[in-house]
Amino acid sequence: MAGAAGPGTGPGAAGGDGDDSLYPIAVLIDELRNEDVQLRLNSIKKLSTIALALGVERTRTELLPFLTDTIYDEDEVLLALAEQLGNFTGLVGGPDFAHCLLPPLESLATVEETVVRDKAVESLRQISQEHTSVALEAHFVPLVKRLASGDWFTSRTSACGLFSVCYPRASNAVKAEIRQHFRSLCSDDTPMVRRAAASKLGEFAKVLELDSVKSEIVPLFTNLASDEQDSVRLLAVEACVSIAQLLSQEDLEALVMPILRQAAEDKSWRVRYMVADKFSELQKAVGPKITQNDLIPAFQNLLKDCEAEVRAAAAHKVKELCENLPIEGRETIIMNQILPYIKELVSDTNQHVKSALASVIMGLSTILGKENTIEHLLPLFLAQLKDECPEVRLNIISNLDCVNEVIGIRQLSQSLLPAIVELAEDAKWRVRLAIIEYMPLLAGQLGVEFFDEKLNSLCMAWLVDHVYAIREAATNNLMKLVQKFGTEWAQNTIVPKVLVMANDPNYLHRMTTLFCINALSEACGQEITTKQMLPIVLKMAGDQVANVRFNVAKSLQKIGPILDTDALQEEVKPVLQKLGQDEDMDVKYFAQEAMSVVAQRLRKLDLPVKDSDEPSAPGADKNHFLRPRGPGEDAGKVSRDRAARVASEAAVEAAQLGVGTQPRSGPAYQLCVNPRETLAHLEIVGLVHFSQSRD
């Protein structure tokens, strides 16, 4: 049983006389009120186990009353409880008894923490479906009314989310009451409740009869949309979308549009922001005719709003808006009514506005077609490619594919190149990182010739960047380029340059060669790997820096599967064996690890690796420098204590978990710096391993 955790499996339970199964449950129940939050949480998560053991009767009469009073607990416990109770119907005796779950959820629906309340409401909604119609009116609806007329606004906000689930199944008399309650919450004194009501207005409207929507929801909507609180008015915009879907065009025009127009010109920028943010939804909800007459002019205003936040939100929606216009006449509308405003935004004073625009503007080219793109959009792209803000340029470059389909990238390449070069050499490494990510995409679109001519040198320069993250990204980039341009290209352009770095005086660059080989070997295939890369790797096994040597071992492990067995047997194995005898223990360690992998491939070979010496799984860390160590090894003065402590912690943990108490060789991690290497090469991501034997 899932509940058989914790001390339950300890020796204490062994003496039981046939009631073994009770013991774990007894522990779980006791831990419901343990001082440790984690244990309480654990018990709450196994509430179904407890309920199952108690049976439906005792769950209803004892467990649920206890849970109802447990609302003083930590949020995470309450959250878990609220979630559990949503799936509890079966455990209290099925739908006939679903109402027994209401009291604990009712008290959870009044706590101050929003996440807990929301979860309680979600569970209540779930349970409402399991009520019979009779039970719904007898138990659920009274609960909703109680919450709706509660003293504290937490309960009233929770009530707002429950109307829509009980309304459809209620009798007409009750329906009228429910509507009445909803009405009063919409004009509640506290803005919290009005906000909750406004956000559920659309949902409630959907379950109402159309007549009631017009006679009741629309007036409520009108009131909320002119609320004195900005935070209420902006939620009415959201409700607008749902309500608009329910009404006919005439009603829409008469009842909703005046309010939407008012919202788009609201004095508060937050309301206008909301209109901009929800523009696509609104556009779909009101249909093409109203869009053309009303929304387009409103959108123009939003694009030239005095508040930058609003302009940025609107700029984000430009492409979606254009896409959703009816195809007929779309081009004219965009050209005459949207494009002039976009042109203004390209030279906006706010960089967020410009970068929002840059992230979507390229998408317009597919909509407008080749000629318009060349004539009207291209100048804008070019202007943005020269923008002073790197984010704007990046956004343009990252969306090049849209333009490529329409006009081909050649049109842009003259301006593109300086922009790319500038970003590639940006002082901020995050900017450099971002442009590297787009290199494969650019390469695909610019073609191999252009790439070789202009961009190849950049890609190679990144390999010796002084930030590790850039070097790492550059290595991955090479792999993707090879996938794109093929092995022949790799052999001619990339591989020689990478291999030359194996002789670099800086050991970090020598290691970069190894990382590149790791990444490229698979894409390049067996022949290049065996003939060109392997010799270099093997040669580096004699490097004077231990870090390079153990990376050789790792590389051999990595490229092992690509090599044929002859090479493995005759070239790799001797080198690994030699490294296995290295004076540095880390080199030894990784050599042995590589050996065991190689050995699996060469099943015939007998390897001197015993089971007990086999390294534990976490050893295969891709980022190097962090090396697992068993407590049995000679781990040096400083790290020994730590390793021992970690090991004993692991033992304690193992004991707690009820697994064997024998301490496994738990990994301890060591981060050291080799004092013999120049400090200038040190950086956060490239901590150098401390070679103990040279000390």
Partner 1 sequence: MATLMATLQYIISTVEFNHSGELLATGDKGGRVVIFQQEQENKIQSHSRGEYNVYSTFQSHEPEFDYLKSLEIEEKINKIRWLPQKNAAQFLLSTNDKTIKLWKISERDKRPEGYNLKEEDGRYRDPTTVTTLRVPVFRPMDLMVEASPRRIFANAHTYHINSISINSDYETYLSADDLRINLWHLEITDRSFNIVDIKPANMEELTEVITAAEFHPNSCNTFVYSSSKGTIRLCDMRASALCDRHSKLFEEPEDPSNRSFFSEIISSISDVKFSHSGRYMMTRDYLSVKIWDLNMENRPVETYQVHEYLRSKLCSLYENDCIFDKFECCWNGSDSVVMTGSYNNFFRMFDRNTKRDITLEASRENNKPRTVLKPRKVCASGKRKKDEISVDSLDFNKKILHTAWHPKENIIAVATTNNLYIFQDKVN
Q: Which residue stretches of 451-506 are H helix? A: 456-462, 468-485, 487-489, 495-500
With contact defined as beta carbons under 8 Å apart, do 384 and 376 qualify? Answer: no
Q: Hey, what are 572's tokens? A: 């790799």
- Residue 345 CB, shortest distance to partner 1, in Å, is 18
Told to check if 12 binds partner 1 by CB under 8 A, we report yes
Contact pick of 5, 76, 269, 602 for partner 1 (by CB under 8 A): 269
Considering beta carbons, is residue 110 or 372 the nearer one to partner 1?
A: 110
**Residue span binding partner 1 (CB under 8 A) among the ranges 110-118, 163-171, 377-385, 488-496:** 110-118
Told to check if 265 binds partner 1 by CB under 8 A, we report no
Please choose, from the candidates 479, 545, 476, 472, the residue with its C-alpha nearest in 3D space to the C-alpha of residue 507.
Answer: 545
Distances (CA, A) of 275 to 121, 239, 249, 281, 369: 28, 11, 20, 10, 29
635: phi then psi, degrees, rounded to nearest 5: -100, 15
Q: What is the 3-state secondary structure (H, E, C) of 501-569?
A: HHHCCCHHHHHHHHHHHHHHHHHHCHHHHHHHHHHHHHHHCCCCCHHHHHHHHHHHHHHHHHCCHHHHH
- Residue 280 CB, shortest distance to partner 1, in Å, is 23
> Within 10 A of 94 (CB to CB), how many other CB atoms are there?
11
Considering beta carbons, is residue 115 or 138 the nearer one to partner 1?
A: 115
Residue type, 30: D
**Residue span binding partner 1 (CB under 8 A) among the ranges 9-17, 362-370, 403-411, 461-469:** 9-17
Told to check if 237 binds partner 1 by CB under 8 A, we report no
**Residue span binding partner 1 (CB under 8 A) among the ranges 122-130, 191-199, 249-257, 486-494:** 191-199
3-state helix, strand, coil in the chain (%, to 5): 75, 0, 25
Cα(first)–Cα(last) distance of the chain, in Å?
Answer: 55
Told to check if 268 binds partner 1 by CB under 8 A, we report yes
Told to check if 27 binds partner 1 by CB under 8 A, we report yes
Considering beta carbons, is residue 307 or 391 the nearer one to partner 1?
A: 307
**Residue span binding partner 1 (CB under 8 A) among the ranges 138-146, 304-312, 429-437, 658-666:** 304-312
- Residue 29 CB, shortest distance to partner 1, in Å, is 6
Q: Hey, what are 464's tokens? A: 């010796």
- Residue 53 CB, shortest distance to partner 1, in Å, is 6
Contact pick of 100, 111, 394, 575 for partner 1 (by CB under 8 A): 111
Q: What is the DSSP letter of 612?
A: G
Number of residues in contact with partner 1 under rule CB under 8 A:
50
Q: Hey, what are 53's tokens? A: 């053991």
> Cα separation of 109 and 677, whole Å?
62
Considering beta carbons, is residue 69 or 453 the nearer one to partner 1?
A: 69
- Residue 5 CB, shortest distance to partner 1, in Å, is 15
Considering beta carbons, is residue 54 or 333 the nearer one to partner 1?
A: 54
Site for partner 1 in 137-176 (CB under 8 A): 152-155
- The number of CA neighbours under 13 Å toward the Cβ of 215 is 8
List Cβ neighbours of 381 (8 Å cut-off, separation of 6 or more): 361, 362, 396, 403, 412, 415
Considering beta carbons, is residue 264 or 533 the nearer one to partner 1?
A: 264
Contact pick of 30, 57, 401, 425 for partner 1 (by CB under 8 A): 30
- Residue 311 CB, shortest distance to partner 1, in Å, is 11
Told to check if 23 binds partner 1 by CB under 8 A, we report yes
Contact pick of 29, 207, 655, 672 for partner 1 (by CB under 8 A): 29
> Cα separation of 424 and 178, whole Å?
63
Told to check if 225 binds partner 1 by CB under 8 A, we report no
List Cβ neighbours of 424 (8 Å cut-off, separation of 6 or more): 432, 435, 436, 458, 461, 462
Told to check if 222 binds partner 1 by CB under 8 A, we report no
Contact pick of 72, 449, 604, 612 for partner 1 (by CB under 8 A): 72
In the complex, the residues that contact partner 1 under the rule CB under 8 A are 12-13, 15-17, 19, 22-23, 25-27, 29-30, 32-33, 53-54, 58, 62-63, 65-66, 69-70, 72, 110-112, 114, 152-155, 190-192, 195, 228-231, 266-270, 306-309
